[in-house]
Amino acid sequence: MKILVVDDDPQLRDLVSLALTRARFETLTASTGRQAVTHAQREAPDLIVLDVGLPEMDGFEVCRRIRATSNVPILFLTAQDDEVDRIVGLELGADDYVTKPFSPRELVARIRAILKRAAPAPSDVLTHGPLTLDRTAHRLTVNERAVELTGTEHKILGALMQAPEEIISRPALVDRIWGVGSRVSDRTLDSHLRNLRRKLGEAGAPAVLRSVHGVGIGLAP
């Protein structure tokens, strides 16, 4: 997901960008309010980290202009623990705030929580080509033919079908299936993918899963 970081302090921008990159987010940066408004319109970020004390146009005005056309989540950075700033920011439509100085780990955790709250509820039934996956009933059909999957195979296919145009890296896929920080070997993932490919092939969909060398796993268009 794409995060726009807006702050006039280059060291802070670099610190936040590094923390977000390590957390597997794509980052954009802006040093002024005008740049922030332009990037928000052109780049359509998934969340904006916005400093209140910007030159020329402060964070409150940036928030007003962005909120006129977009509901993108906004997290304010405030230079001091000022209740007035917090109240004004929240009334303008900010989703959260962090007071400087802050822990990069806390900031990343706040961002993840905001994105999780903002994410649309996933559909219980996913379709892709001949595949229909009912995640509530744990039932897969291929061309209306039922296919039995293990729990892990079901999770893998669900993760891929939820983002059908995305090539998911192997580490990211492991995180989605087994949780962040899980120690799951490539051999284990390969075994589940191999069994899933075999079952899909036997059901008449041999080319649904595709591997992109050096990138990850996805679905064939």
User: In the predicted model, is pLDDT for residue 88 greater than 90?
Assistant: no
HSE at residue 115, side-chain half, CA atoms within 13 A, is: 15
Q: Kindly tell me the sign of the dihedral angle through the C-alpha atoms of 67, 97, 105, 51.
A: positive
State the architecture of 2-118 in CATH terms: 3-Layer(aba) Sandwich (3.40)
pLDDT band at 117 (very low <50, low <70, confident <90, very high): confident
**Is 2.40.100.10 the CATH classification of the domain at 125-219?**
no
31, exposed or middle or buried, with CB in 10 Å at 0-12, 13-18, 19+? middle
pLDDT band at 187 (very low <50, low <70, confident <90, very high): confident
On average, the pLDDT of the chain sits at 89
Q: Where are the domains of the chain?
A: 2-118, 125-219
pLDDT band at 71 (very low <50, low <70, confident <90, very high): confident
User: In the predicted model, is pLDDT for residue 167 greater than 80?
Assistant: yes
Q: Kindly tell me the sign of the dihedral angle through the C-alpha atoms of 14, 3, 67, 88.
A: negative
30/33 Cα distance (integer angstroms): 8
Query: pLDDT value at position 60?
Result: 93
Q: How far is CA 193 from CA 37, 63, 64, 74, in A?
A: 43, 45, 47, 38
Q: What is the pLDDT of residues 13-43, one digit of tens each?
A: 999 999 999 999 999 999 999 999 999 999 9
